[in-house]
Structure 1
Amino acid sequence: MNCRVLVVDDDPTVSDVVRRYLEQEGYRVELVGDGLAALASVAADTPDLVVLDLMMPGIDGLEVCRRLRRQLPQLPVVMLTALGDEADRVVGLEVGADDYVTKPFSPRELVLRIRSVLRRSTASGAVPAPEAALLVDGDLTADTGRRIARLGGRALSLTTREFDLLAFLLRHPARAWSRAELLDKVWGWQFGDQSTVTVHVRRLREKIEIDPAAPRRILTAWGVGYRYERTPGHV
């Protein structure tokens, strides 16, 4: 496995428990206790994934995630939060977290979530079938081999999950997908908070739609979920 995970938490007890469980699964783990140290560590040596506590003194997890997303949009981030309210979880997803686990948490569940996020991230390096390598809808393209999406020739800054969601929808246009189905097909979860899908759709619309409030590509299928409509004149 040999994946390197950066754990950012100001509670040494939590950090130590997470480290022990991850090391038992074969991960290499680095621990830091605040946001500035996390940013410095990532700048010095980019990890394969960041486990990021939301509530920290100084620079909190939300701001760290914002900065990481600007610099490394595809770096996987799993957020730890003691805030169980859905609105607080959504904020974490809005700034770019790939997943979140609410404290108190099961270390085994955290490991499973990390494994799921990393599986999606590392699978992106696999060589796709030639016919599926480039997905095109008008001026929107997604190169699944190089993990690059472009709109009007301009590269889009997408997170790992945003790219996965876009590629999935481009491969399956016109069909309505429920949030539960998208959570399964794109995230690989048979359970989980479906607001994860809602937030990622909203973020993706902001990046590919002319008017995110009146989307023309990713449409809401009322009572079901979402469907992708290709640009007229393209098949």
Structure 2
Amino acid sequence: MTALSATRLLLVEDDPNFGMVLKDYLELHDYDVTLCTDGLQGWRMFQKEAFAACILDVMMPLKDGFSLAADIKKADPLMPVIFLTAKAMKADMLEGFRLGADDYITKPFDSEILLCKLKAILQRKAVPTTAEKPAATEYQLGHYHFNAKTRLITHHGDTQKLSPKEAELLLLLCQYLNDVLPREVALSKIWKDDNYFTARSMDVFVTKLRKYLKGDPRVEIINVHGNGFRLVAPTAEAKELAPSV
């Protein structure tokens, strides 16, 4: 396998015209793109070369995009995957996120938005060049300190113990800090399903988290209508837990 470049992308798209247009567009913006025209070819290329991220169509011959993504995630759970597809059904989007996709973009799409999302994903999921870097587990949210491992929120000496699901949801919001956490992402990753009852359950958990964080008016969980939630914390920063000695 060749050395990893932070700009190397695997693009798997069975429409050769669209694939070449997108490849050229991404290369104009300084990405190094390898284009494959079916899922089996894409899988063989993934095994042979090293990539920073994968952009996959869903409906492809020989090996569909969902099957390809499942194999990619099994081989490398940290590999960023973006689905870029005409399949706009909610069930398909949920399946994509259940497989660990970082984003699911439906055609037609705004190419500038794809660039912005790709940049954000690569910054968030970049593979370290040395020893594996642990994910952030502590966050400073205004006057609040959140420790995801112990599930504790501390505020001026007072401590609130969160339930496992409350801690999972707050951690996910922190990972999308000052950005929109799509509702379907939270439901698929935490509740493993998206229906009326799980959606109502998530709303209840969001209400609880707002109550826990109400002591600092700068810290808000904003409802983005029709999309999801956004955790806003102007002084927030993420930290890694120091290893035990």
Structure-1-length-normalised TM-score: 0.64
Cα deviation for residue 81 of structure 1 reads 2.0
Whole-Å separation in 2 of the counterparts to 1:225 and 1:9: 42
Cα deviation for residue 120 of structure 1 reads 0.5
The structure number with the bigger radius of gyration is 2
Cα deviation for residue 16 of structure 1 reads 2.0
- The gaps in structure 2 that reach 5 residues or longer are 140-146, 153-160, 193-200, 210-245
The equivalent position to 2:18 in structure 1, one of 2, 14, 24, is 14
CA contact (8 A) 2:148 2:167 kept: no
In structure 2, the CA distance between the partners of 1:86 and 1:44, relative to structure 1 (3 Å rule), is same
> Is 2:206 the counterpart of 1:224?
yes
> What one-letter code is carried by the residue in structure 2 that aligns with 1:89?
M
CA contact (8 A) 1:183 1:189 kept: no
CA contact (8 A) 1:48 1:75 kept: yes
Partner secondary structure for residue 94 of structure 2 = helix
- The gaps in structure 1 that reach 5 residues or longer are 128-144, 149-162, 204-218, 228-235
Cα deviation for residue 91 of structure 1 reads 0.5
Match of 1:23 in 2: 27
Whole-Å separation in 1 of the counterparts to 2:208 and 2:21: 39
Whole-Å separation in 2 of the counterparts to 1:95 and 1:30: 22
Cα deviation for residue 186 of structure 1 reads 1.3
Whole-Å separation in 2 of the counterparts to 1:78 and 1:105: 13
CA contact (8 A) 1:178 1:225 kept: no
CA contact (8 A) 1:82 1:102 kept: yes
Match of 1:195 in 2: 184
Whole-Å separation in 1 of the counterparts to 2:179 and 2:60: 31
> What one-letter code is carried by the residue in structure 1 that aligns with 2:149?
L
Whole-Å separation in 2 of the counterparts to 1:166 and 1:86: 33
Count of residues in Structure 1 that have an aligned counterpart in Structure 2: 179
1:13-34 Cα distance to aligned partner (Å, 9 max, x none): 2212321221122111110001
- Backbone CA RMSD of aligned residues: 3.4
In structure 2, the CA distance between the partners of 1:171 and 1:177, relative to structure 1 (3 Å rule), is closer
Structure-2-length-normalised TM-score: 0.61
Whole-Å separation in 2 of the counterparts to 1:35 and 1:120: 26
